[in-house]
Amino acid sequence: MLRIHFTGDDLAGVRMAARPDALWETILSFHRLRDRRGALVYGAWRSETRTRLNGETRLLGALVPVRGYFPDFLTPPQGLDGLDAGLQAVRATPPARVHTELALLAASRPGAGPLPGWAGDLAQGSPEPFSRLIGALRGYHRAAIEPYWSHIEASVEADRAVRGRALLDGGADELLASLPPMLRWRSPVLEADYPVDRELRLDGRGLLLQPSYFCRGTPVVLRDPDLPPVLVYPVTHTDAPASGACETGASPLGRLVGHTRCAVLKAIGHGGTTSELARRAGVSLASASQHAGVLREAGLVVTLRQGSSVLHTLTPLGAALLHGGGAQPRQQQQRRRYARNGPVTS
């Protein structure tokens, strides 16, 4: 079991990652590629990805075993800023740290034999083995992550919306209590199912919550307790896409306001910027802005400015129209379903 100990300062320092982390998704997807679980969610992805790989798995497999410890330096915090920033941080890892983490890796895999020579050379700061590693990570990411990035972003964004509403409703306590069922908030300790016993004391540093599409079953934390604390946890996967409430000809709302405007209204469901609405609804930025303006004038949407962007949210009237009057908003339905059955996983 994993136990994360919070102080009052840590609760004040809990924050949500703004987007998926390119390197966490890369490394955790490498685990999913080699196991056979989660076929409903990952089966087609595995089949498609394997056809695009070109030797990256053999090289990465030396540093990322099927289960258990993998070096922390493979998932630096800069991965939140994209693959290039993350890979630059990997390359800049001090040799002493690389040496320590590779020694931990070797000790955690008895019977697997020594690490390959090129991996041992990483700790010497030699540019050639790092170039091999960076090339393998980039090639694997291109094959396994890039084609699915928009879907990964949408899944993480949906999770952020649920957590954000919990934070607004009840603060950090409600946010931590809203996490998936393998995480249990028993103030001041967050407990989690975990393959080994582990105590993590935040000591006033706060905690970054990082939802992940390719994390499965149990959350992940960094091995080194001195690194900035991050908790990577699985998003909830549904076994089927949400029904198309805005399909013209199949929905009274779609017939009333039109397919595109209904799609924009649905995209606003959990709140979002104009750019996010455009991406979710599959329309141009100008079209999303225009439709959001019409919906705002009709009293269905409220728009707030945040810095250089604007955030659109539904009014109670807009939510009632979108969800059929007396129907519960989708987010409330999900919360009750999670509490009753746990998340839908494969």
Domains and CATH numbers, the chain: 2-18+151-234 (no CATH), 22-148 (no CATH), 252-341 (1.10.10.10)
**What stretch of H or E contains 2?**
strand 2-5
Whether 306 has a pLDDT exceeding 80, the answer reads no
Query: What pLDDT, on the 0 to 100 scale, is given for residue 277?
Result: 84
Q: Among positive and negative, which fits the CA dihedral 77, 79, 84, 88?
A: positive
CB 7 within 8 A of CB 188: yes
* 321 SS3 class: helix
pLDDT above 70 coverage of the chain, percent: 84
pLDDT at residue 346 is higher than 50: no
Is the Cα dihedral 210, 213, 215, 216 positive or negative? positive
Instruction: Give me Rg for the CA atoms of the chain.
Output: 22
Dihedral sign of CA atoms 121, 123, 125, 130 in order: positive
Does the pLDDT at position 143 exceed 60? yes
Phi, psi of 306 (to 5 degrees): -125, 100
252: DSSP letter: H
Amino acid letter, 190: L
In angstroms, the CA 169 to CA 161 distance is 12
Orientation angle between helical segments 285-297 and 274-281, nearest 10 degrees: 110
Dihedral sign (CA 317, 319, 323, 326): negative
**Least confident among 185-199, 233-247, 261-275:** 233-247
One-letter amino acid at 345 equals T
Most confidently modeled range among 21-25, 49-53, 121-125, 265-269 = 21-25
Q: What is the pLDDT of residue 249?
A: 45
In angstroms, rounded to a whole number, what is the distance separating the alpha carbons of residues 5 and 200? 6
Task: Identify the weakest region by mean pLDDT among 39-53, 250-264, 288-302.
Answer: 250-264
In the predicted structure, residue 172 carries a pLDDT above the cut 80: yes
Contact yes or no for 190/183 (Cβ under 8 A): yes
Average pLDDT score over residue span 47-72: 88
- For 67-127, the DSSP string reads SS---GGGS-GGGGG-HHHHHHHHHT--HHHHHHHHHHHHHTSTTS-PPPHHHHHHTTT-H
Identify the band that residue 245 occupies on the pLDDT scale cut at 50, 70 and 90: very low
What dihedral do alpha carbons 266, 269, 274, 280 form, nearest 10°? -50
Q: If you average pLDDT over every residue of the chain, what do you get?
A: 82
Tell which phi-psi region holds residue 171, choosing left (phi > 0), alpha (psi between -120 and 50) or beta.
left
Range 132-153 burial, b when 16+ CB lie within 10 A, else e: ebeebbebbbebbbeebeeebe
| Cis-peptide, bond into residue 219, ω within 30° of zero | no
